[in-house]
Amino acid sequence: MKIIEIYDDNYSKDKVYNRVRNAARAVIVDSGRIFVEYAKAQPIIMLPGGGVEIGESKEECVVRECREECGLIVKPIKQLFVIKEFYKDVLFNSSYILCKVEGSCQSSPTQGEKQLAIKSFYQDVRIVYNDLKRILDSLDDKESELYGMNYREYLAANEILNNVQNII
């Protein structure tokens, strides 16, 4: 399994991270398109997913997050890759898991997700990749959380784009 690493300017191989956040993101593919979430309130594009809760597996997390965020009932198939982000005071581990849609349900987004006015739909992976590139090019603060989130998803879209034949 491939691991993609992102380092900030403060990275040191000897650094111990006291805060580690594990997350899982769903890679849902249909005819070369991927299921994505575009936020209207801020320039954010992401795959459905979020933080793994205590006692929860990555697979359980991705199932829960898909239900909550976009009203999809998914079945995890396999983990495709991991993106590790080494920042000043926290290490983020995001597992990207290929999922199959098995049904739908009523979504129950968090207040924060509602404020972002997220719209979820299938989009050609090349368009997602190019939209993320445009967002990154437009952001001045390369150290911001907003930049980091979009950069992580840009790398994920690139990995999916380069391996879409193997993923389907």
For residue 148, pLDDT over 90 is answered with: yes
Q: What is the mean pLDDT of residues 78-107?
A: 95
The share of the chain scoring above pLDDT 70, in percent, equals 97
- Rounded to the nearest integer, the mean pLDDT of the chain is 93
Radius of gyration of the chain (CA): 15
Query: 151: closest CA among 164, 166, 141?
Result: 141
| 90-104 and 19-30 beta bridge pairing | parallel
Q: What is the pLDDT of residue 82?
A: 98
Tell me phi and psi for residue 141, to 5 degrees: -90, 95
pLDDT in tens, 34-79: 999 999 999 999 999 999 999 999 999 999 999 999 999 999 999 9
pTM of the prediction?
A: 0.94
